[in-house]
Amino acid sequence: MQEVKPGSVTVDLAGDYALTGEQISSYQQNGHILLRQVAAPAEMAVYRPAILEAAYRYNTETRPLSERDTYGKAFLQIMNLWERDEAVRRFVLARRFAKIAADLMGVKGVRIYHDQALFKEPYGGPTPWHQDQYYWPLDTDKFVTMWMPLSDISVEMGPMTFANGSNKLGYLGKIPISDRSQAIFEEFIAKKQLSLQTGSAMAAGDATFHSGWTLHGTPGNSTNRPREAMTIIYFADGAHITETDNINRVADLERWFPGLKTGDLAASQLNPLVYTS
């Protein structure tokens, strides 16, 4: 790897991360996987300051935690930073991450859905159980989200928890993330006797990858340090826009697929092809 200095943005993150057949099988069976050192410490030293600076610059949430609802207490959420910051763009469009997404899903190519900086503030609340794909208006289940902490995190800071095998159960209803989703899916998980993969300590540059239908959530951050994570959502190249059957899919269609309608190829200017084999 070339020598890097903190604050520079010269690392292209193009080198491959080798996945084993066992890892791919585990992801497809359970709907999630934790991979270590997807980005190396020297690479994170380059990109962490750039992502943090952009996220805090574009954050619009200024209310104290006490004045927010459950969703608002769960995290600061700053989306599509790649559109607005060149350093973040290099990170989000990185070939390495995209190839992992394609290999896990078993597809030839992937496009960007969007990125999200998800920062759980000190003493921030839990993230309720939910399915991401409830929000996404595409006709494919080939979705994967990479969730990467920007600094080392402990279990007390609220790493991801997954319901194993829930990816195979598909769409579980019009249930947006909320106190209600927590109650409904907590009962559902118990009824279906799904085992849980609770979060573990992670180093900066480690990453989890999870499927769009995988039930997941996080505990709260019980420390006085922010849990700073960057996420990138990928979908299989060739997907099309499907019916917008809830208001959140309507909003996502307008924001992430400008100018497209039901039946169109999901390939707007906001959905670049970031890997193809």
CB 133 within 8 A of CB 213: yes
Please compute the mean of the pLDDT values over residues 134-144 and round it to a whole number.
97
The percent of residues in the chain predicted with pLDDT above 70, rounded, is 96
CB 66 within 8 A of CB 171: no
Q: For the range 196-200, what are the long-range contacts, defined as Cβ-Cβ under 8 Å and sequence gap of 24 or more?
A: 196/161, 196/162, 196/163, 196/164, 197/30, 197/32, 197/161, 197/162, 197/164, 198/155, 198/161, 199/155, 199/158, 199/159, 199/160, 199/161, 200/34, 200/155, 200/159
> Residue 3's pLDDT band (boundaries 50, 70, 90)?
very low
Q: Is 252 a residue whose pLDDT tops 60?
A: yes
pLDDT exceeds 90 at position 235: yes
Give CA separation, 52 vs 44, 168, 221, in Å.
11, 35, 18
Report residue 153 as tokens: 């995190």
What is the C-alpha separation between 58 and 39, in angstroms, rounded? 24
Across 92-114, average pLDDT? 98
pLDDT in tens, 23-48: 999 999 999 999 999 999 999 999 99
Is the confidence at residue 1, as pLDDT, over 70?
no
> What is the number of other CB atoms lying within 10 angstroms of the CB of residue 108?
12
Res. 264: pLDDT tops 90 = yes
Kindly report the average pLDDT of the chain as a whole number: 93
Name the pTM for this structure: 0.93
pLDDT at 85 over 50: yes
Amino acid 10: pLDDT? 57
Q: Which pLDDT does position 6 carry in this prediction?
A: 42
Task: Tell me how far CA of residue 9 lies from CA of 13, 45, 86, 114, 200, in angstroms.
Answer: 11, 10, 9, 21, 30
List the single range of 9-18, 129-138, 193-202, 251-260 with lowest mean pLDDT.
Answer: 9-18
* Interatomic CA distance for residues 124 and 153, integer angstroms: 14
Domain boundaries, the chain: 24-270
- Please say if the pLDDT value at position 128 is more than 80: yes
Work out the average pLDDT over 94-123: 97
Which CATH number is correct for 24-270, 3.30.365.10, 2.60.120.620, 2.10.109.10, 3.40.50.970?
2.60.120.620
Residues 120-143 have a mean pLDDT of 95
Summarised one tens digit per residue, pLDDT across range 43-77 is 999 999 999 999 999 988 888 888 888 877 777 88
Measured CA to CA, the distance from residue 202 to residue 161 in angstroms comes to 13
Taking the C-alpha atoms of residue 197 and residue 145, their distance in angstroms, rounded to an integer, is 16
Helices and strands (H and E) in the chain: how many: 7, 11
Is the pLDDT score of 204 beyond 50?
yes
CB 111 within 8 A of CB 82: no
182-195 average pLDDT score: 98
pLDDT 10s digits, 167-177: 999 999 999 99
